[in-house]
Amino acid sequence: MYLQNKPRITNLWSKVVGGENEKWLTRVTVESTGPYKFTLKEVSGGFSLECSGVEINMPEGRLEVNDGLLRDISIERAGNDTARVELFLDHPAECAYVLYNDFPCRLVLNLNRDFIKGLLSGKRIVVDPGHGGKNLGGRGQVSLLEKDVVIPIANNLERNLKKAGAEVLLTRRTDKDVPLDGRAALATNANADAFISIHTNASADRSDVGAATLYSPHDNGSRELAVYIQKEIIKKLRVKDRGITIQQGLGCVSKEIPAVEVEVVTITNIVEEVFLRGLTIQERAAEGITNGLIKYFACGGPGAKGDTK
Amino acid sequence: MIAGRISIRTHIITDKDDIVNVVEKYTGKVALPGDIVAIAESVVAISQGRAILPDDVKPGILAKILCHFPGKEGSLAAPPSIQVAMEEVGKARFLLGVAAAGLGRLVGRRGDFYRVAGRELALIDDFAGTMWPFDRHIVLGPRNTQEIVDRIKKVTGVEAIITDINDIGKVDILAATDGVDADEVADYLKDNPHGNDDQQTPIVVLVSSENMQKNKCCRAAWLGEQSK
């Protein structure tokens, strides 16, 4: 029966691997029941993989990735016994492949993320987990506190940014309150390239949900940074888009430094409180913020108008 | 003997799907008699319409109180999911479970809550426990699991199991057709081949050594074809 069948592609997935001291890669894996013939071509905006003598045993269409380099992957039939896998990239990258002919057979495409490293290396980012100590911030209906949940998100963000070659400073690592001017001074003294404050939204209306990004009143790229981060965080979390808005309080950060406050989701909503407890959302929120920063620096950083509305 | 396994990506399963048709569609040309198809319990439940939105649940005062108890086991964290759990097994049995858990704790024993209140409650996934677009739902455990695996075997000729696997390597086989060695299978699923929520692979085919041999022959043939 196997002999009558062509090999079949059963799964397609991607993951970011390595970083810091190892090669930092987006790894796309195509799994199949057996080997087949393929050619890999560079095309405008990405790569195209033509596979022949193989059937598709999974849904055709696009898979969203949004990892800062790889936007999405598509797989579709391109004639008899032929499948086309396309990788759509946000930035240029080199692509190398390895075929593992075991079971399942795996064709692994490694995209290097050096371009992102080029954008962020040498950048100094201040990450500010909101509240702390007696300043609890928002409180969930069950028990979660804003001051606690912003810490793991900040730690994830620090890890991501360091992998991209940036220098990261945190305003607090422990459960203590730091005065606003102290947080702002850290950014000023470090001559930071961006100030990212992490919060959650809190609302008296318990049905309120979603994420928002607030920006400094200074005309220094803060608004553009907020637009990018908001767009990317919504893609990652798939929660309600509460938009961007000015936050006068961020005016205390030096005029030279773009500053935003990300309200990851709404802690006072019971569903989103449970989300916030999960490691997945804590990682995804950090990925969304990282991707926003990458887009911002790719468009030229402060003063860049890019495609922001 | 199981000699290999392959994870299969599917479309997003909803209550419009019949899980037996889904298995047939995605494994028809991958699995052979002698193999075992493993299906994640949450998608079976979703196909049965057992995903509930919190707006459809009105948590009572008891659910609101119980959510503040420390050490609420498993995924029952929020009042709506506790309410749903109480409705599944009845308030009295649920409270007996809570009491047993309290006593159990005194003597340092864990797991008494589910032993008394019902194993099916351990299958409830709270918000964020299931992949998008069901991450805002409470997903209950599946029903009629034995009937489903038997139907799969009847339709496809392949053995079938329904699994509950968590990220710390705990494997529960909720139902299995008669040709399955549950112990061997559980051992083979510990690292959760269904993947986390980024990988949509609710079906995994466990390939028997006999069929793996056949696959190896084909592999040579496929490669031969390519070198021509």
Closest residue in B to A273 (Cα–Cα): B78
Q: What are the chain B neighbours of A142 within 8 Å (beta carbons)? A: 67-68, 77-79
- Quickly state the pLDDT bin for A307 (edges 50, 70, 90): very low
| Segment A116-130 mean pLDDT | 96
Judged against a pLDDT cut of 50, whether residue A192 lies above it is answered with yes
Whether chain B has a CB inside 8 Å of the CB on A48: the answer is no
pLDDT of res. B74: 56
Contact B199 A11 (CB under 8 A): yes
Of B26, B54, B222, the CB nearest to A270: B54
- Quickly state the pLDDT bin for A127 (edges 50, 70, 90): very high
What digits encode the pLDDT tens for the residues A177-187?
999 999 999 99
Distances (CA, A) of A98 to A70, A110, B8, B71: 18, 8, 21, 47
pTM for the model? 0.91
Q: Say what percent of chain A tops pLDDT 70.
A: 96
| Segment A205-229 mean pLDDT | 96
Domains, in order of start, for chain A = 8-112 (2.60.40.3500), 118-298 (3.40.630.40)
Which of A270, A279, A282 is the best mutation test for B, with the most CBs of B within 10 A?
A: A270
Domains, in order of start, for chain B = 2-49+142-227 (3.30.1330), 51-139 (no CATH)
Of A2, A11, A238, the CB nearest to B215: A2
pLDDT of res. A6: 87
The tokens describing B69, both together, are: 């108890």
DSSP string, A114-135: HHHHHHHTT-EEEEEE--BTTB
Of A103, A143, A278, the CB nearest to B215: A103
Amino acid type, A149: V
Establish how many alpha carbons lie within 13 A of residue B117's alpha carbon, considering only the half-sphere containing its beta carbon.
29
| Segment A83-94 mean pLDDT | 97
Question: Mean pLDDT for chain A?
Answer: 93
- According to DSSP, residue B113 is labeled H
Helix (H, G, I), strand (E, B) or coil at A60: coil
Judged against a pLDDT cut of 50, whether residue A113 lies above it is answered with yes
pLDDT of res. A305: 45
Question: Strands of A167-170's sheet, edge to edge?
Answer: A167-170, A124-129, A194-201, A259-266, A211-215, A241-246
What digits encode the pLDDT tens for the residues A221-267?
999 999 999 999 999 999 999 999 999 999 999 999 999 999 999 99
ipTM of the complex: 0.90
Identify the segments of chain B with pLDDT beneath 50.
Answer: 227-228
pLDDT of res. B228: 44
Instruction: Residue count of chain A, please give it.
Output: 309
Window A:224-263, CB contacts with B under 8 Å: 238
Q: In whole angstroms, what is the distance from residue A104 CA to residue A102 CA?
A: 6
pLDDT of res. A143: 87
What digits encode the pLDDT tens for the residues A41-78?
999 999 999 999 999 999 999 999 999 999 999 999 99
Q: How many CB pairs under 8 A join A and B?
A: 112
Contact A7 B217 (CB under 8 A): no
Residues 6 or more apart from A273 whose CB is under 8 A from it? A140, A141, A142, A144, A267, B78
CA of A282 to nearest chain B CA: how many angstroms apart? 12
